Structure 1
Amino acid sequence: MFVVIGGNGKTGRRVADRLRAQGEDVRAGSRSTSPRFDWQDASTWAPALAGAQAAYVTYHPDLAFPGVPELLEEFCATARTAGVRRVVLLSGRGEEGAVASEEAVRRSGLEWAVVRCNWFNQNFSESFFLEPVRAGVLSIPAGDAVEPFVDAGDIADVATAALTRPGHAGVVHELSGPRLLSFDDVARELSDAAGRRISYEPVTRAEYVAELEREGLPGDFADLFTLILDGRNASVTDGVERALGRAPKDFSAYAREAAVSGVWNPVPAGAPVG
């Protein structure tokens, strides 16, 4: 039996779907499941992990946040006591702060694998860029930096392989998409796929923090743009191909599929969004 911590998230639900398609018994772990899993309530961990042989672990909002390594150390001890043998951790590519969280898993005594990723394609259709895309304007503090956006489906395929197949123990899978894209490039790709103009308008970090706060979101999210602006992830990797024997999905293919789903259709005036 496999536990997927963050089973309602972008990669978690895809991993769960893939495991079920292979005939595996899957338990999703989140604050809305039964048994409930809550990172901030350690008493929920053991019931969620009971009977599992392996776990896919995601942490929201970010592994690099203070206190997360200690939390993961405690989680892994609970998992080991519950009989879990293998943990696959979703981590951030180029995030020094996330390395300490990875190290907590490596030291746990469990069989482990790490899947490191940069920005997801699905951030534009399932996350914080969805409403800006619908509105037709991406206003973010990314300047002219480039990023090799990776598809959540590829991440899920690699994570599922690491959970179920031999040869992944002790491996760090560093994933990316097949090419570098600026946000101007992204806006053009989205416009072509959606059949209407979607523009990119760079803003300052202060302007973006103010917008986050107006929306009730943590201003710390603006710090994630440092991973783009300093160029640390401005290169493609062969991680997907090495893990799966195939090329990663291109952003244009993702954009066409998302457009067909209707997710970017403008919301009529007065209709609820989100």
Structure 2
Amino acid sequence: MALVSVVGATGRQGLAQVRQLVAAGHQVRALSRNEKPDLGPTNADIETRVIDLYDRKTYTKALEGSDAVFYNHPLQLRDSRAELAGWIGEAAKEVDAKRFVWNTSSWIPDKPGDAFTYAGNTAGINALFRSGVPATVFGSVLFMDNLLTNWARPFIVHEKRYVYPHKPTLGANWISLDDVAKIMIHAMDRPDMEGTWMNIGGPERLLPPQVAQILSDHFGHTIKYDPCTPEEFGDLLVGALGDSMAEAERKPFAAGIAAFYNYNNNAPTKPFEVNTEAMMERLPGIELETLAQWVARQDWSDTAHRPSAG
């Protein structure tokens, strides 16, 4: 049993990691900016500590005694990826963590061509590896759990529409956050994965109409794929984040999201696609769930516990 500190434990990604770490029998320490973080319904004995990513003085106390550190970079701090990854890597090395696992939450450039904002992941990986902490990095390309957020679920449940900014011909290897967490846990005990990074995705490459059909099959009525523009999606995302985002940050953030999805829809690098056959050769024993399996086990009700932004 290892003591694993999860940075960003109250977000949807961190909550999945906490959940899977507990299921795997590890001791978990949840780290967030809040002294009393909302970790949802759990009976597990989970220690909590405060960490402020922009206050390096909070790092050592938060991480001390950790056997491993799971890091989730905040969506709203995209431009600070390299700086923060390097800083927290240095702190993890200082407390003698045996493994640092970073979920970049997005594709890591692995081929020539314009990398757009994804180049920040490369810079962050370089900074993390230079810190000297034994690290493994996963670029999870697109989360099934996004469909449960306030910018997606209400349309599906209340309006029978699947609203997303993907063009109808855009293929994507959606992956569940629980599977991301299982892969991160798997990497902790893999000496051959120290100092490595890889992109990860789910077992199916789906087009938006196929996603809509899977949702339709589950709910028992037609869910129409109704694509929004990247600009509309930026506004939806800002609205979902609510009071967690300062007013001055809203317009630039929305514009950044719009530019991001305009790139994703047309990029020859295809950042939502993963060679899952090659991926699974490196991750033997991991069974990934399909989108239909994931959809079937979710609570789609309005009363379910949900983290920030749904």
The bucket for the TM-score relative to the shorter chain is: 0.7 to 0.9
The residue number in structure 1 matching 2:297 is 257
Can you give the 5+ residue segments of structure 1 that lack an aligned partner in the other structure? 268-272
Q: Could you state the TM-score of these two structures normalised by the residue count of structure 1?
A: 0.85
What displacement does 1:210 show? 4.2
The residue number in structure 1 matching 2:83 is 70
SS at match of 1:184: helix
SS at match of 1:3: strand
Can you give the 5+ residue segments of structure 2 that lack an aligned partner in the other structure? 36-47, 109-117, 243-249, 304-308
The residue number in structure 2 matching 1:270 is none
How far apart, in 1, do the equivalents of 2:4 and 2:257 lie?
31
**Cα RMSD over matched residues?**
2.5
Change (3 A) 1:250 1:51: same
The residue number in structure 1 matching 2:65 is 51
What displacement does 1:139 show? 3.0
Q: Could you state the TM-score of these two structures normalised by the residue count of structure 2?
A: 0.76
Q: Give the number of aligned pairs.
A: 264
What displacement does 1:233 show? 2.9
Residue 172 (str. 1) matches residue 197 (str. 2): yes
Aligned AA (1:46): T
The residue number in structure 2 matching 1:150 is 175
Change (3 A) 1:19 1:106: same
Cα deviation digits, residues 45-101 of structure 1 (max 9, x gap): 2111011121011111067x2232112212222222222232111122142221111
CA contact (8 A) 1:147 1:180 kept: yes
- Over the matched positions of the two proteins, sequence identity in percent amounts to 24
Structure 2 matches for 1:1-274, cutoff 5 A? 1-33=3-35, 34-61=48-75, 65-91=78-104, 92-94=106-108, 95-126=118-149, 128-135=151-158, 136-144=160-168, 145-213=170-238, 216=242, 218-219=253-254, 220-225=256-261, 226-230=263-267, 231-238=270-277, 239-240=279-280, 242-258=282-298, 261=299, 263=300, 265=301, 274=310
CA contact (8 A) 2:6 2:28 kept: yes
How far apart, in 2, do the equivalents of 1:89 and 1:36 lie?
19
What displacement does 1:152 show? 1.4
